[in-house]
Structure 1
Amino acid sequence: MSTRAELSAPLTCRDQEAEDGIDSEQLLMATMNQDLTEDELNHIKKQWSLEQDELKKQLIVHDDLDFDPDDLDTTLKFVGGVDISFDKENPVNAIASLIVLSFPDLKVVYEKYDRVTMQHPYIPGFLAFREVPHLENMIHELRQNCPQFIPQVILVDGNGILHQRGFGLASHLGVVVNIPTVGVAKKLLYVDDITRDTVKELVQKHLKAKGDYAKLIGKSGIAHGVVFQPIQKTGRPLFISIGHRISLESCIKVVLKTCIHKNPEPIRQADLRSRRMIEAQAAWKSNQ
């Protein structure tokens, strides 16, 4: 099944950057476009902190799954991927995408795209309050219209508990939709005194082949996630973290099984298909 949104402007895919998953130029534009005073921003941060703390109480960081992570080929049937891409000229406008793949063949069985407008400013540590409502709506629609394709686990282009407040986009989404989620980031969010040098040393020491990983253990002694080698040849690692209702060990197993290329296939497909829509819209506009 495929449901496509009408697009009115070319979009550019979000590149996961340090903070929560938005690059510095988009961050500046997104913040400026909201036209809020410092007091208003502080009020929002206080309110969101309280809401985030309440949601975090529901967070489950062990396996609460309807599939066996040690027998994925037999027990895992559907895996989801989500992504949001922003309008290059006006990043409060975006397209949200939800892709569901069958497993283990990793074929797209459901795709949904929504044209959305960001209703809230971007504030570091609180990206989920901008993005999750749109993703939640799409998952709700999937449940209503095509419940046979509800994913047993969703891979999120962003962080889970590897986050300055221990509750990133993947965790927030998992809690509100009550589906296991895995955070998969392309760039590291530095928390708990985990530094670039720390990661570089881990990569050089432990990441030699596809599937190799090393735990990201901070000053507190907590393992916030892992740095993971997704492909055999040398390339940028991924940063995997628990989202919700799944252990770190099971996160690694799911990501490994879905990595044909450098990004897990559910996230990769969400990104590729969004780009195709962007290119088609740009071509249409150029012909007008």
Structure 2
Amino acid sequence: MDVNIDQLKKFQLEIAKSVVLEKKDYPLEYFEFIVGVDLTFNTNEGIVCFSVFDMNEKKMEYFFERDKIKFPYIPGFLAFRELPLINKLYEKLHKELFNDKKVLFFIDGHGLSHPRKAGIATHFGVLNNTFSIGIAKRLLYGKIQDENFFENKQKLFSFVIDQNFSQIAVAIKTEYLKRKRIMNSKVLYISVGNKLNLKNSFELFVNFYKKYNFIPTEEAHNYLQKIRKKKEYEKKLF
């Protein structure tokens, strides 16, 4: 598959221009559904899972979709590889479940903490005009504001800044959540996807965990692992 990097960069810059950064803060209770989004890959097939938590009924449901993945893996351009499958499931659930409900999406990946401020959480939020937050396991762009963040055991979170010293994410040690690791990582990077501000994004992430004791993207991740194991087991049987 031929890929025009310059065209992709241009599209990302257009996405970044369309981001809505809210000044006001939304409480957790504002949202009717909290959704965790994660993907896994098996050869040329992708599987996406939405862990959908109903804030009124306090119950979780899992939905997944699978399809062939044609776009190659290129760091910094993961949205072009993963978003078609994510949107395929989103469109189904938007009609069947979400409708006009207030939904917050936690997406495995970056939002504005991206070289062109257009990570997958931002792509998704802008294209679907919805609230989104990026939860990444690795730093893609920028640097930790506190230079001794990793060495200082007392320091449990710090801002991530870009080359202009703008705050683009919050790095949080999983120890802050009383966990040794989360999805095999000791640090998570929380960034704005769309329709929120950084402070509010961080607070929503932390408050949700403190209240319900789980991370939506991790729930989606764990469900995907079960699907993969089942598929591998079925292959052995046949």
TM-score bracket, shorter-length normalisation: 0.7 to 0.9
2: CA distance, partners of 1:151 / 1:99: 16
1:266 aligns with 2:221: no
Aligned 8 A contact 1:61 1:243 in 2: no
Within a 5 Å distance, the mapping from 1:38-49 to structure 2 comes to: 40-41=2-3, 44-49=4-9
Give the structure with the higher percent strand. Answer: 2
Aligned 8 A contact 1:63 1:245 in 2: no
Q: CA deviation at 1:102?
A: 2.1
Aligned 8 A contact 2:16 2:116 in 1: no
Partner in structure 2 of residue 162 of structure 1: 113
Aligned 8 A contact 1:82 1:156 in 2: yes
Structure 1 residues 256 and 106 mapped into 2: Cα distance closer, same or farther (>3 Å)? farther
Q: What runs of 5+ residues in structure 1 fail to find an aligned partner?
A: 1-33, 35-39
Partner in structure 2 of residue 201 of structure 1: 148
2: CA distance, partners of 1:269 / 1:134: 18
1:252 aligns with 2:202: yes
**What SS does structure 2 have at the residue aligned with 1:94?**
strand
Within a 5 Å distance, the mapping from 1:126-141 to structure 2 comes to: 126-141=77-92
Q: CA deviation at 1:151?
A: 5.5
Q: Structure 1 stretch 234-243 or stretch 145-154: which is displaced more?
A: 145-154
**What SS does structure 2 have at the residue aligned with 1:52?**
helix
Q: Which amino acid aligns with 1:253?
A: E
1:99 aligns with 2:51: yes
Partner in structure 2 of residue 232 of structure 1: 178
Within a 5 Å distance, the mapping from 1:74-85 to structure 2 comes to: 74-85=29-40
**What SS does structure 2 have at the residue aligned with 1:259?**
helix
Aligned 8 A contact 1:171 1:244 in 2: yes
Partner in structure 1 of residue 41 of structure 2: 86
Partner in structure 1 of residue 12 of structure 2: 52
1: CA distance, partners of 2:112 / 2:15: 13
2: CA distance, partners of 1:168 / 1:97: 19
Structure 1 or 2, whichever has the larger Rg, is 1
2: CA distance, partners of 1:105 / 1:254: 19
1:123 aligns with 2:70: no
Supply the RMSD in Å over aligned alpha carbons: 2.7
Aligned 8 A contact 2:146 2:159 in 1: no
Structure 1 residues 76 and 275 mapped into 2: Cα distance closer, same or farther (>3 Å)? same
Residues 198-231 of structure 1: CA deviation (Å, up to 9, x unaligned):
66612444855xxx52111233111111111342
Partner in structure 2 of residue 31 of structure 1: none
Q: What runs of 5+ residues in structure 2 fail to find an aligned partner?
A: none
Normalising by structure 1, we get a TM-score of: 0.72
2: CA distance, partners of 1:105 / 1:214: 34
**What SS does structure 2 have at the residue aligned with 1:189?**
coil
Q: CA deviation at 1:259?
A: 2.5
Q: How many residues align?
A: 231
Identical pairs, percent: 25
